[in-house]
Chains A and B, each alone.
Chain A
Amino acid sequence: MRAAALVVVLVLAAARPAEGYPQFQLATGAARCNQCHYAPAGGGLINGYGRDEAADSISMGGNGDFLHGVWELPSWLGLGGDLRAAGLVNNVGATDGAELTAFPMQADLYARVAVEAFSLYVSAGITGAVRPEADFVDRLVSREHYLMWRPKSVGPYLRVGRFFAPYGLRLAEHLSFVRRFLGFNTLEETYNLSGGVVNDGWELHATAFTPDPFRPVGFEGSGGAVYYERRFGETFAAAAQARFAIASGDTRTQGGLVGKLYLEPARTLLLVQTDLVHERFDETGASRLQWVYYLGASWRFARGFMVQLMLERWDPDLATRGVARDALDLEVQWFPTAHVEVSLFGRLQLIGPGSDDSTGAQVLMLQAHYYL
């Protein structure tokens, strides 16, 4: 009965993409994203090792297993879910003042069934929105569903279905410019044929993708993406990446670099991503060169606590002054026990820096997160 009530609560709430937390890579002794996640490039449902880490090193304690260990699942079955709610103060300089609102942010359930080297993964949830207007049925989504062949957690894999093509830092926060403006915003998952190799020292992911044919969101391009990450020792990783996509009237070619460095004495992980995007608009013949970067430092100063400072820029046209935007973010996260996260996120945005008409915007968000 309690489980049924929980399902109802989850379904009535709302969903946002559940990406991984790259802030824990290298910093908790895990070299690979797929040490904690079933997905080869991280994100989504966490595995047994990830659940143990959540309890033993990331949070202040508890039992990280599914349903807190009340029901021990067979090894061929993985179940889980994410539930998030948030309160928001949003000041964008409107004449009617700052917006104050509370909203369900995410409600996703995950199921994974494995038979030998093959597994089927399905997520189901409801789209989240600060200002929801869509009908309930239209808000039902499956962000990820895929079939995967992977004989071992290290080595080669093949995956077909809906998910984000492995690219970039794959941050949980979709407000990050490297997600929002590079084709990885909420519900912009594509249908893919993806394969690669994941080892302790390096990983390679290559993906062919096409947009959701039924309910596309964002840039509707088809193409390919490649991501190669190499780890040097236990505290440094560097990656190179490229992506190419053709949409009706719009072609994008992009490439970038990713860096991750764990400063053990300071218990701080530095994360960097930068990309250049060349975009050509066929109808007008115009083109533009975009530049985006993310600089982040996450400091785990005590068990169960993390502070993040992030600096970001998105410049959609390097040849035009005043179109860029910068953001300075500060997030304080508290993991009082396995399964629970409370975070306070603040963002200062400067829009059009360098122009006479630059403006500012500020956001403060309190978020509560529970995972099954």
Chain B
Amino acid sequence: MLALPAWLIACGPASDEREPSFPYIVDAILRPNCATASCHSTLAVAGGIELDAPATAWTFLLGPDGTGDYVVPGDPTASRLLYLLRAEDAPRMPPDAPLPAVDIALIEAWILEGAKPD
């Protein structure tokens, strides 16, 4: 029953053609899924992390002096964010609505390309 609209999916391209830019990742993926009222919004700042806007989210994920471990530029295997998103030896984030694998792959591509803020 959940696969009813599968014919619509088949109309989409097979590959992800989205650019791995951080403003897009925040606006299209992190804010709607993670920056909810009780989680990583300005209101709640759960875990000390705020993901409402690209500028603040970049600082929180990389650390104010670039020494944070949620995101390590160029090194996905050292970036804790990916383990949380994939629930690999870590609690699942977001805890109520896991991200699709292609969205996590886009974030991984952004990290691999240096995790630039723009």
**Stretch of B24-32, B59-67, B68-76, B108-116 with 4 or more beta carbons under 8 angstroms from chain A:** B24-32
Please determine whether B98 and A351 come into contact, CB atoms closer than 8 angstroms: yes
Given A218-B36, A281-B28, A313-B5: A94 in contact with B92 (beta carbons within 8 A): yes
Given A93-B92, A95-B90, A129-B44: A281 in contact with B23 (beta carbons within 8 A): yes
Please determine whether A319 and B13 come into contact, CB atoms closer than 8 angstroms: yes
CB distance from B63 to the nearest CB of A (A): 20
- Which of B42, B100, B101 contacts A215 (CB under 8 A)? B42
State the B residues within 8 Å of A (CB): 1-6, 8-19, 21, 23-24, 27-28, 31-32, 35-38, 41-47, 52-54, 87-92, 95-103, 118
Q: Is the interface of B mostly helix, strand, loop or mixed?
A: loop
CA distance A352 to B86 in the complex (A): 14
Q: Is the interface of A mostly helix, strand, loop or mixed?
A: loop
- Which of A99, A186, A350 contacts B2 (CB under 8 A)? A350
Please determine whether B44 and A134 come into contact, CB atoms closer than 8 angstroms: yes
Given A92-B98, A355-B102: A320 in contact with B91 (beta carbons within 8 A): no
CA distance A323 to B32 in the complex (A): 13
18 further A-B pairs in the complex, CB-CB below 8 A; given A95-B88, A131-B95, A315-B8? A90-B95, A93-B98, A95-B89, A127-B43, A129-B37, A130-B38, A130-B96, A175-B96, A216-B52, A284-B24, A286-B18, A320-B17, A326-B2, A326-B3, A351-B100, A353-B3, A355-B102, A361-B98
Please determine whether B12 and A321 come into contact, CB atoms closer than 8 angstroms: yes
State the A residues within 8 Å of B (CB): 90, 92-96, 99, 127-134, 138, 175, 180-181, 185-188, 215-220, 248-250, 279, 281, 283-284, 286, 288, 311, 313, 315-328, 348-355, 357-359, 361, 363
CA distance A354 to B12 in the complex (A): 10
Please determine whether B23 and A249 come into contact, CB atoms closer than 8 angstroms: yes
CA distance A33 to B57 in the complex (A): 40
Given A320-B16, A321-B13, A361-B97: A96 in contact with B91 (beta carbons within 8 A): yes
Please determine whether A354 and B10 come into contact, CB atoms closer than 8 angstroms: yes
Given A96-B91, A133-B47, A311-B1: A217 in contact with B36 (beta carbons within 8 A): yes
Chain A residues, Cβ within 8 Å of B14: 321
Please determine whether A217 and B27 come into contact, CB atoms closer than 8 angstroms: no
- Which of B16, B31, B97 contacts A349 (CB under 8 A)? B97
Chain A residues, Cβ within 8 Å of B12: 318-321
CB distance from A97 to the nearest CB of B (A): 10
CA distance A350 to B5 in the complex (A): 12
- Which of B21, B24, B89, B97 contacts A325 (CB under 8 A)? B97
Please determine whether B102 and A321 come into contact, CB atoms closer than 8 angstroms: yes
Please determine whether B101 and A359 come into contact, CB atoms closer than 8 angstroms: yes
- Which of B2, B8, B13, B90 contacts A348 (CB under 8 A)? B2
CB distance from A210 to the nearest CB of B (A): 16
Chain B residues, Cβ within 8 Å of A317: 18, 28
Please determine whether A92 and B100 come into contact, CB atoms closer than 8 angstroms: no
Please determine whether A218 and B31 come into contact, CB atoms closer than 8 angstroms: yes
